[in-house]
Amino acid sequence: MSRIALISDIHANLPALEAVMKDIEQLQCNAVYCLGDVVGYNANPSECLEFIRSLQIPTVRGNHDEEAIRENNPTGMNPVAYNALMWTRQQLSEEQKKWLRRAPFQRILPNEIVLVHATQDKPNSWAYVTNVDTAT
């Protein structure tokens, strides 16, 4: 039986990423996939991105990854997320931003398993579930 590990919402937290990957290694998973948001909020966006790249972990793009590669001023973010995003943009190299741009919004695995950060019907739409109507 194969084991697949899914990681997501790393948000530039390198110590947490290292701890999770150590657990994944101990569990002897056959494959690891990242469901996005490698960057954002925390202190190590560049290091986390390089960690994921070095292990060649297939990754889909999350909303914080998307905002980190845009040129425009983000709207609709809370002040903490906004400040972290503006700082993150300065930390990433052009090569790292290029890697994020190449990350697809969805990946389809064997057996029709679809990986997305958002929703399958709108994989690049970042709707937050904040009430019952949105959840429905």
Q: What pLDDT digit, counting tens, does each position of 72-124 carry?
A: 888 778 898 899 999 999 999 999 999 999 999 999 998 889 999 998 888 88
On whether the CB atoms of residues 10 and 37 are closer than 8 A, the answer is yes
pLDDT averaged over every residue in the chain: 93
Q: Where are the domains of the chain?
A: 4-135
Nearest-angstrom CA–CA distance, 83 and 103? 24
Point out which residues pair with 116 in neighbouring strands.
106
pLDDT at 129: 79
DSSP letters, 41-103, are: SSS-HHHHHHHHHHTT--BPPPHHHHHHH--SPP-S--HHHHHHHHHHHHHS-HHHHHHHHHS
For the chain, what percent of residues have pLDDT higher than 90? Answer: 75
If pLDDT is split at 50, 70 and 90, which confidence band does 13 have? very high
In terms of pLDDT, which residue wins out, 126 or 96?
96
CATH of domain 4-135: 3.60.21.10
